[in-house]
Amino acid sequence: MSAKRQIRFNAFTMNTVGHQAPGLWAHPRDQMHRYRQLSYWTELARLLERGLFDGIFLADVLGIYDVYGASHDAALHHAVQVPSNDPLLIIPAMAAVTEHLGFGTTFSLTYEHPYPFARRMSTLDHLTEGRVGWNIVTGYLDSAAKNLGMAKQMAHDDRYDMADEYLDVVYKLWELSWEDAAIERNKATRRFTNPLRVHGIGHEGVHFSVPGIHLCEPSPQRTPVLYQAGASSRGRLFSGRHAECVFMCMPTAQLLKRSVDDFHAALAECGREKSDALVYGQALIITGESRAKAEEKLAEYRHYLDLDASLALLSGWTGVDFAKFDLDATVEYIENDAGRTALASFSKADPSRTWTVRAAAEFIALGGRGPVLSGSVADVCDQLVSWFEATGIDGFNLAFAVANETFEDVVNLVVPELQRQGRYRSAYQPGTLREKLFGRGPRLPANHRARQLVL
Amino acid sequence: MSAKRQIRFNAFTMNTVGHQAPGLWAHPRDQMHRYRQLSYWTELARLLERGLFDGIFLADVLGIYDVYGASHDAALHHAVQVPSNDPLLIIPAMAAVTEHLGFGTTFSLTYEHPYPFARRMSTLDHLTEGRVGWNIVTGYLDSAAKNLGMAKQMAHDDRYDMADEYLDVVYKLWELSWEDAAIERNKATRRFTNPLRVHGIGHEGVHFSVPGIHLCEPSPQRTPVLYQAGASSRGRLFSGRHAECVFMCMPTAQLLKRSVDDFHAALAECGREKSDALVYGQALIITGESRAKAEEKLAEYRHYLDLDASLALLSGWTGVDFAKFDLDATVEYIENDAGRTALASFSKADPSRTWTVRAAAEFIALGGRGPVLSGSVADVCDQLVSWFEATGIDGFNLAFAVANETFEDVVNLVVPELQRQGRYRSAYQPGTLREKLFGRGPRLPANHRARQLVL
């Protein structure tokens, strides 16, 4: 009998007050108002490492949710991803109190030049001793672009073309500028670096001109573990080419399976193997010592949800101003200016049901566009295994309702049960994040685009 | 009898292998090769806090020293400020292990948009609980500009004009976007922020367009403590307008005094008081248990200096390629393309002496362009007090020769002797960095430009 595939967990959060549970910051036990304190993050990191999570995954937006009612008032009132602080700066303190936990951070390449960004990520990879990952995003809020002096953000597909060049620049800096043998660090010969083994990358492209060398010596992983969450067809090609970890957020196992299959096809088109990337499906686990206690907890959480806050989030995600619709209006297939049809997933989720604005807002208010898995520990483990087996994902990107109660429940209750079932590891693998995730590394494999570039 | 003025210490370092002691990374006891490890920085932070230092001051350049011989080979060979990592990312881990130490970090505003930068600094001010400072620089290496897609860096005075607008943008974000009463964080009313008290800054300038609100809630100091080191006449005006702490690096007490007086005049021109800013003079202390031991140490350090490395540094600072000159050529008043005459200070330092390329390289190799104060603990304290009294500075920005031996000697030997003489405090003041430095705050005073802007 072959060993059961083991489930992986990532924690999904953000350096802000209200991430994906609009209104729940006001829950009496919620701790997210402490996001400004290092101690909040070091406590969370220790908890997740105790639960043998692959990593903590930090979302980020540089803009504000101001589509709803053409105003940022609802976002501010309910702390919907605003105020929000920089995600990179909480990683070093979390790294200092952990040994194995990975740190995946979102960083939008539309808004910063690749030369200083490459140095930032190399610095993090050094300081974490090879435990850093980068969630490549191209930005989706016009409000961010406007504050960076652009009239509005670049068109969707243009962003991906620019992103491909951006990645070539940082790949060259990370992978090709310094040979492995460049660093001698020899106090006897008094030579730190052999200059003949350090190369200017000579990049001259459409968007960027970077002639020089990378400023950092090679870090443990060189290129950080690459995360992506793109769901559009251009986004899928981008993921197939670059991503090592993909986050998906789908309301049903059927839709999630289709996305997983699509992604595996995109990987193959790019000459990569299924085993070259991991897929995490988003989910929110709400559990307790018994089914009754879990149900009570879920009802209590729902009490703190806020419809306005939820619609501010949904309007920002989709670009559709839901303030213009009646709460009981049907929402399927609303097209917005950018041609995004994110709302289609609601009718796909349950075609038999009539989706209203209210229903959509209530749906995303817990766990975003992913499922809520609730019930007793046994119930939740059954659902996790069922999703896991039905979809072909490698693990879950776990959202939270109440910080850090949700993750405490997972670590204290769900992880031990999954371990008992042989569905969850009992110790970390050694090495860098890439070695822990793939059992090989620390560098990207030879079939990845970053390893195929030449100067 | 009035109390003696007390001397302040700052530690001057950089997230790199060789900062201002070219070649000394190869000293057997030097630890700078550990710059990639969090533990190096947390050890240093604890040491400096034990010594009641005002703060750690992190230099940074985004470019490479490639003026010497029109090549970066010497810089790479001897690790002259390359490889170098990002300075911001080491601060959170140091903050987590200290309670009082300040963190001044260099960040060049020529190379990053003010909108994300403002968020980075607010994040650091939150995470350090108000202990962060920003050393405002406009960049001086063409190599940095080239890798950011510019043909070369902006002309010197244009950089300062752009810098003034940059500062207006970040001041508006930090000081005016969120009123004090904006944050309610009230779980009972379920209102986190009062939207009526948060304002888009509506900035439309020559260089920047930033209509929106700051993404961060007000941090303890709002605007970080502002550091500056500009020495040009345009630079002095800039310092007079903005700086709260100024770093100066002069080879003689006479020259330093003149600069201090000039700066105080610039402060007055900008409607600010002498007490509104602190001046730190750069110095390198080399001492030991006895005068003989200190002399032995100094000789030993000199043994590891490297002339090539020193000339790479000097060429980068001045823009003059010293590889074109004989080591015994006289160097006074060499003009370079940018019209910088930094070399003039050598002849000013000692007009009676003939300054050769070799002499200049040897001079800056220990302690940069500042003095080396060496001898027994008593000798060093005499020199410190003498410079302090003769120049009107408020303290010293201490360079190091061997990490962390130089700072250990200061903390273990010099600080106790200065305390005994009533010249050094015995405990930190409470509060944020600004409150510790000025006994008022945590915000900038009303006479500072940042507090006079309106939306």
Q: Which of chain A's residues have a Cβ under 8 Å away from the Cβ of B219?
A: 36
E strands, A61-131, where?
102-108
Task: Name every chain B residue with its beta carbon within 8 A of the beta carbon of A127.
Answer: 36-38, 85, 89-90, 93
Q: What are the distances in angstroms from CA B127 to CA A42, A111, A354, A413, B99?
A: 12, 24, 46, 31, 12
DSSP string, B193-244: E-GGGB----EE-SS-EE-S--SSPPPTTSSPEEEE---SHHHHHHHHHH-S
Residue B63 near residue A213 (C-beta atoms within 8 A) = no
Contacts of A208 in chain B (CB under 8 A): 149
Nearest to B76 among A112, A116, A198 (CB): A198
Instruction: Please tell me the distance from the alpha carbon of residue A96 to that of residue B426, in angstroms, as a whole number.
Output: 30
Helix (H, G, I), strand (E, B) or coil at A232: coil
The whole-number mean pLDDT for each consecutive block of 10 residues of chain A, a chain of 455 residues, reads 85 96 96 97 98 97 92 97 97 98 93 92 98 88 76 71 92 98 97 98 94 97 93 79 94 92 94 96 97 97 94 89 89 49 57 80 88 97 98 97 98 98 97 98 96 95
| CB–CB contact B127 A90 (8 Å) | yes
Question: How high is the pLDDT of residue A346?
Answer: 61
Report the pLDDT averaged over residues B379-399: 98
Q: What is the DSSP string of A402-417?
A: STTHHHHHIIIIIHHH
Partner B contacted by A389 (CB < 8 A): no
B169 touches chain A (CB under 8 A): no
Instruction: Write out chain B residues lying below 8 Å of A112, CB-based.
Output: 112-113, 116
Closest partner residue to B92 (CB to CB) among A27, A71, A89 is A89
Chain A residue closest in CA terms to B61: A215
Tell me, yes or no, if the pTM score tops 0.90. Answer: yes
Partners of A40 on chain B (C-beta within 8 Å) are none
B55 with B104: CB under 8 angstroms? yes
What is d(CA B136, CA B215) in angstroms, rounded to the nearest whole number? 21
Question: CA nearest A298: which of A285, A279, A317?
Answer: A285
In chain B, residues 109-168 whose CB comes closer than 8 Å to chain A: 111-113, 115-116, 119-120, 122-124, 126-127, 143, 146-149
Q: Does A300 touch chain B (CB under 8 A)?
A: no
Residue in the block written with tokens 């959170």: B92
Residues in chain A: 455
- Cβ atoms B192, B184 nearer than 8 A: yes
**Cis peptide bond upstream of B83, omega within 30:** yes
- Look over chain B and give the mean of its residue pLDDT values, rounded to a whole number: 91
B1 by Cβ neighbours in 10 Å (0-12 / 13-18 / 19+) ranks as: exposed
Residue B437 forms part of a structural domain: yes
Residue B188 sits at the vertex; the CA angle it makes with B185 and B193, to the nearest 5 degrees, is 30
Three-state DSSP class for A135?
strand
pLDDT band for position B367 (cuts 50, 70, 90):
confident
Tell me, what's the pLDDT at A350? 65
Optimal mutation site among A65, A72, A192, A207, interface B, most CBs of chain B within 10 A: A192
3-state SS class at B398: strand
H or E segment at B389?
A: helix B377-391
Contacts of A205 in chain B (CB under 8 A): none
d(CA A87, CA B332): 49
Q: Which chain B positions have a beta carbon within 8 Å of A83's beta carbon?
A: 193, 215-217
Model confidence band, residue B351 (pLDDT cutoffs 50, 70, 90): low
Helices (H) and strands (E) in chain B, counts: 17, 13
Mutate to test the interface with A, among B108, B110, B127, B301 (most CBs of A within 10 A): B127
With a pLDDT cut of 90, the percent of chain B lying above it is 76
Residue-wise pLDDT for B225-279, tens only, equals: 999 986 666 778 889 999 999 999 988 899 899 999 999 999 999 999 999 999 9
CB contact under 8 A, A77 and B119: no
pLDDT digits (tens, 9 = 90+) for B185-235: 999 999 999 999 999 999 999 989 999 999 999 999 999 999 998 666 677
Closest CA relative to residue A198, chosen from A185, A216, A210, A186: A216
**Which chain B residue is nearest to residue A151, measuring alpha carbons?**
B209
* pLDDT value for A69: 95
Q: What is the CATH number of the domain that holds B60?
A: 3.20.20.30
Q: Which residues contact B151 (CB under 8 A, 6 or more apart)?
A: B145
Query: Does any domain span residue B60?
Result: yes
Q: Is A1 contained in some domain? A: no
The pLDDT of residue A13 is: 97
Query: CB distance from A184 to chain B under 8 Å?
Result: no
Minimal C-alpha gap between A382 and chain B (Å): 35
Q: Report the sign of the C-alpha dihedral through residues B39, B43, B45, B46, in that order.
A: positive
Judged by CB atoms closer than 8 Å, whether chains meet at A17 and B42 is answered as: no
Q: How many domains does one find in chain B?
A: 1
Q: How far is B123 from chain A (nearest CA, A)?
A: 5
Question: What's the rounded Cα separation, in Å, for the pair B370 and B387?
Answer: 12
Task: List, in sequence order, every residue forming a beta bridge with B107; answer none if it has no partner.
Answer: B136
- In this prediction, residue B1 carries a pLDDT of 47
Tell whether B192 lies on the interface with A, counting CB pairs under 8 A: yes
CB of A84 within 8 Å of a chain B CB? The answer is yes
Q: Positive or negative, the Cα torsion across A386, A391, A396, A400?
A: negative
Sign of the C-alpha dihedral computed for residues B385, B389, B391 and B393 taken in this order:
positive
Q: Give the three-state DSSP class for A360.
A: helix
Q: Is residue A56 part of a domain?
A: yes
Q: Is the pLDDT of residue B343 over 60?
A: no
B147 prior amide bond cis, ω within 30 = no
What backbone phi and psi angles, to 5 degrees, belong to A308? Answer: -60, -50
SS3 sequence, A254-315?
A: HHHHHHHHHHHHHHHHCCCCHHHCEEEEEEEEEEECCHHHHHHHHHHHHHHCCHHHHHHHHH
A129 located within any domain: yes
Contact state of B38 with A79 under an 8 Å Cβ cutoff: no
Amino acid at A132: V
Interface test mutation site (partner A, options B146, B192, B201, B432, max chain A beta carbons within 10 A): B192
Q: What is the pLDDT of residue B341?
A: 46
Alpha carbons within 13 angstroms on the beta-carbon side of residue A197 total 14
What domain range is B139 assigned to?
8-292+369-451
Beta bridge partners of A106: A135
- The answer to whether the CB atoms of A23 and B190 lie below 8 A apart is yes
CB A110 within 8 A of CB A162: yes
Of A248, A284, A229, A288, the C-alpha closest to A398 is A284
Helix (H, G, I), strand (E, B) or coil at B176: helix
The residue of chain A with its CA nearest to that of B184 is A77
| Chain-chain contact of B195 with A123 (C-beta, under 8 angstroms) | no
- A123 neighbourhood in chain B, CB within 8 Å: 15, 85-86, 89
Per the CB < 8 A criterion, the answer to whether A216 and A122 are in contact is yes
Q: B148 in a domain, yes or no?
A: yes
Contact criterion met (CB below 8 Å) for A69 and A321: yes
Largest CA distance in chain A: 77
Determine the residue among A85, A147, A308 to mutate to test chain B binding: the one whose Cβ has the most chain B Cβ atoms within 10 Å: A147
Q: Which amino acid, residue A264?
A: H
- How many angstroms from the chain centroid is the CA of residue A245? 9
Torsion angle (degrees, nearest 10) of CA B257, B258, B261, B266? -140
Which of B42, B113, B198 is the closest to A148 by Cβ? B113
Contact flag A119-B217 (C-beta cutoff 8 Å): no
For residue B109, being part of any structural domain is answered with yes
Query: At B335, is the pLDDT very low, low, confident or very high (cuts 50, 70, 90)?
Result: very low
Residue A190 DSSP one-character state: T
ipTM, 2 dp: 0.95
Interface contact flag, A127 B38, Cβ < 8 Å: yes
Chain A interface, best mutation among B29, B76, B91, B94, by max A CB count within 10 A: B76
Q: If residue A78 lies in a helix (H) or strand (E), which one and from where to where? A: none
Pairing label, strands B209-210, B102-108: unpaired
Does the CB of A31 have a partner CB in chain B at under 8 Å? no
CA A89 to CA A94: how far, in whole Å?
10
Q: How far is CA A156 from CA A109, A150, A153, A160, A339, in A?
A: 13, 15, 8, 7, 10
Q: Decide if A127 and B193 are in contact by the 8 Å CB cutoff.
A: no
- The answer to whether A78 faces chain B, any CB pair under 8 Å, is yes
Q: How far apart are CA A247 and CA B394, in angstroms?
A: 54
pLDDT band at B396 (very low <50, low <70, confident <90, very high): very high
What pLDDT does B2 receive?
A: 58
Contact across the interface for B195 and A73, Cβ inside 8 Å? yes
CB pairs under 8 A between A and B: 222
Find the range with the poorest average confidence among A5-19, B360-374, B376-390.
B360-374
- Residue B237: the pLDDT is 85
Contact A212 B146 (CB under 8 A): yes
- Provide, as residue numbers in chain A, all residues whose Cβ is less than 8 Å from the Cβ of B127: 36-38, 85, 89-90, 93
Asked if B249 and B368 count as a contact pair (C-beta separation under 8 A), the reply is yes
| Cβ pair B58, B106 in contact under 8 A | yes
What's the token pair of residue A384?
Answer: 């996790």
Indicate the length of chain B as a whole number.
455
Determine the pLDDT at residue A336. 45
Residue A282 resides in a domain? yes
How many C-beta atoms lie closer than 10 Å to residue B289's C-beta? 11
Secondary structure class of B396 (helix, strand, coil) = strand
3-state secondary structure of B102: strand
Q: Which uninterrupted H or E stretch holds A74? A: helix A73-77
How far is C-alpha B155 from the geometric centre of its chain's CA atoms? 22
Place of tokens 């992103």: A163
